[in-house]
Amino acid sequence: MLILLPPSEGKVSPERGEPVDLDELIFAAELSERRSELLDALERLASGSTARAVKALGVSAAQAGEVAIDAALRLAPAAPAAEIYSGVLYERLDLPGLPAAARRGAARQVLIASALWGFVRPGDRIPYYRFSAKARLGRIGPPSAWWRDALAATMPDEPGELVVDMRSAAYAAAWKPKWATLLAVRAFSEQGGKRKAVSHMAKVVRGEVARALLLAKRPSADPEAAAAIAGEAGFDVELNGPNLDVLVSA
């Protein structure tokens, strides 16, 4: 089983630590060159006009002060990705708070999608950065397109393997398995017999379902097993084709 997580816009900036080492990130041999090119482009952008950078990065005016951070990412302190990402999903998942056996499982089974890094493991050391799937950097273009071919040639993708996908559509666009079984986790509310997709609660649900899967005695081998684990954890779930749908209170 492989669990794919999104990054989070909320991040913690480490106060100290050695800078990122691209050779220590997962898939270094396959992805370091593209990571380096993207870092170069981002640092050049952030070193120039703030107004231009704000537009290219798709950030709000209130976040303009963070553009300068991207100008020196190679020198910035780095920490494990599980400690950098701090959004709702990560709060509910609580990777650092998992029992030791589940943390070891997460190190093998969890990959975090990133517009800047492609994918990283929870233990991969990265700096605080500002770069999302909606950014557009000159010749780099959409990050999903920048990563698509490289990830297709790199990511594990074997028939019979289960890939549980917690990513949003913007990050899922960069890679989907061709041979492995993909199970996307979605969240819905239901009112008057009609279902409506929910956004904020989806992050809560995905974090808690990911935690339940990691706490299970053995990794899920198929969608039915994943649905059973989520159900045993107290979720109201349905399997709908390639999706694990979770019903939440309106």
What 3-state class would DSSP assign to 245? strand
Contact at 8 Å (CB) between 14 and 69? no
pTM for this entry: 0.95
Q: Determine the structural domain holding residue 121 and report its residue range.
A: 2-248
Give 8-26 pLDDT, tens digit per residue.
Answer: 999 999 999 999 999 999 9
Q: Which helix (H) or strand (E) holds 190?
A: strand 181-191
Strand partners, 126: 79
Q: What angle do CA 112, 246, 145 make, to 5 degrees?
A: 35
Q: For the chain, give the longest Cα–Cα distance.
A: 54
- What sign for the dihedral angle of Cα 96, 98, 26, 4? negative
Give 139-187 pLDDT, tens digit per residue.
Answer: 899 999 999 999 999 999 999 999 999 999 999 999 999 999 999 999 9
Domain count, the chain: 1
Residue 40 clears pLDDT 90, i.e. is over it: yes
